[in-house]
């Protein structure tokens, strides 16, 4: 989870690398760490929730991620996935609250910062969106989607 000791080094390397391939590898390693809880039940729920979300079963995915946040309220990725599914369901205010919880647990969560930018775009708050996207790039300078959104704004 977000308190894994390997993350500090991975984030530092991600911030300074000039190599897009290395950045992609580092990002994947960070996501693998973030997605693993210390609780087997939470890991099983996470896998099921991701499958549901990927399969378009958004309401069921939301229920699953909400259950994760109740079982493991200090597990940042549970909140992050709940934020994602709420965004997909166009419940932008709920998504923003879930992102706030994510960032309170893992301030370096570049995915949550990018998501907050998308939420702010959806709510027609371009200044806030730009701020979130720029914060995400400070952590992960190779996020091309974020760069595209900044140019669009």
Closest by CA to 61, choosing from 37, 74, 45, 39, is: 45
Q: What is the pLDDT of residue 97?
A: 98
Confidence at 2, pLDDT banded by 50, 70, 90? confident
Question: Residue 41: pLDDT above 80?
Answer: yes
Q: Are 83 and 113 in contact (CB under 8 A)?
A: no
Element (H, E) at 9: helix 7-16
**Per-residue pLDDT reduced to its tens digit, 92-145:** 999 999 999 999 999 999 999 999 999 999 999 999 999 999 999 999 999 999
Whole-number average pLDDT of the chain: 97
Around Cβ 102, how many Cβ atoms within 10 Å? 28
Mean per-residue pLDDT, 25-54: 96
Q: What is the C-alpha to C-alpha distance for residues 66 and 140, in angstroms, rounded to an integer?
A: 27
Q: What is the pLDDT of residue 29?
A: 97
Question: Residue 31: pLDDT above 90?
Answer: yes
Q: What are the structure tokens assigned to 46, written together?
A: 């996470």
């Amino acid at each position: 989870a977000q308190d894994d000791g390997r993350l500090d080094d991975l984030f530092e390397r991600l911030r300074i690398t000039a190599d897009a391939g290395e950045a992609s590898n580092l990002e994947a390693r960070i996501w693998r760490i973030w997605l693993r809880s210390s609780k087997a039940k939470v890991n099983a729920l996470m896998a099921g929730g991701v499958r549901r979300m990927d399969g378009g079963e958004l309401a069921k995915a939301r229920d699953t991620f909400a259950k994760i946040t109740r079982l493991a309220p200090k597990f940042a990725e549970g909140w992050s996935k709940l934020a994602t599914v709420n965004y997909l369901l166009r419940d932008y205010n709920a998504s923003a609250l879930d992102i706030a919880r994510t960032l309170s647990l893992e301030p370096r969560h570049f995915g949550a910062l990018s998501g907050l930018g998308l939420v702010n775009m959806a709510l027609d708050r371009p200044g806030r969106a730009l701020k979130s996207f720029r914060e995400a790039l400070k952590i992960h300078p190779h996020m091309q989607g974020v760069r595209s959104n900044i140019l669009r704004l």
